[in-house]
Amino acid sequence: MKKTPLYTRSLAAVALLASIGTTLHAQQAGPPAYGPPITLEQAKRAMAAAEAEARKNNWPVVITIVDSGGNDVMMQRLDNTQIGSLAIARGKATTANNLRRSTKLLEDALAAGGAGLRIVTFPGVVATEGGLPIIVDGRIVGAIGVSGVTSQQDGMVAKAGVDAIAGGSK
């Protein structure tokens, strides 16, 4: 068996410690705090942009927007969208709001297994891409959830909605 030189092991240890330090710093900073609830005008702007993205691609989806308290603000079901997407889109929006992070991050953690599997014990969590917090001035004002096509496509529609707020929140 070939031995790894001490300096190589030392460099690996330094790299590991640096990555742990970066992870701990990110965890300490945490996700953004909650802000005031999204306004109706902001929600309309997000909904219009998300709908435009879905229509551009001919994707039948449900788009749901909740405020920073997790309350429904708007919901829209495009023609020919499956009925089950109503609950899924709302679940993605409330998950993104309540856990203050993208549902894609939860999907990735679940797919990685190990400690990520603990997500299945969280009540009411939808760990599938398509839910994003809506952040204005560094604070969460609500979230958007999309369902109806693939989770990656749902995510693209949700991002269009979020981008419409980020581009004009002032």
The structure tokens listed for 101 are 């992070």
Mean pLDDT lowest among 20-34, 36-50, 66-80 = 20-34
pLDDT score at 58: 98
Average pLDDT of the segment spanning 35-50: 98
Judge whether residue 12 has pLDDT over 60.
no
CATH superfamily of this structure's domain 40-166:
Haem-degrading domain (3.30.450.150)
CA–chain centroid gap for 21, Å, is 24
Average pLDDT of the segment spanning 90-115: 96
Average pLDDT of the segment spanning 99-112: 96
pLDDT score at 105: 97
As a whole number of angstroms, the distance between CA 147 and CA 97 comes to 16
pLDDT score at 89: 98
As a whole number of angstroms, the distance between CA 58 and CA 139 comes to 32
Express each pLDDT in 111-170 by its tens digit. 999 999 999 999 999 999 999 999 999 999 999 999 999 999 999 999 999 999 986 543
3 vs 47 pLDDT, higher one: 47
**25: Cβ contacts below 8 Å, ≥ 6 apart:** none
Count of beta carbons in the 10 Å neighbourhood of residue 2: 3
Query: What percentage of the chain has pLDDT greater than the value 70?
Result: 81
Q: Is the dihedral of CA 143, 149, 155, 160 positive or negative?
A: negative
As a whole number of angstroms, the distance between CA 45 and CA 160 comes to 10
pLDDT score at 13: 36
For tokens 């690996």, the residue is 12
The domains of the chain are located at: 1-30, 40-166
Average pLDDT score over the chain: 86
For tokens 């030189």, the residue is 5
pLDDT score at 30: 85
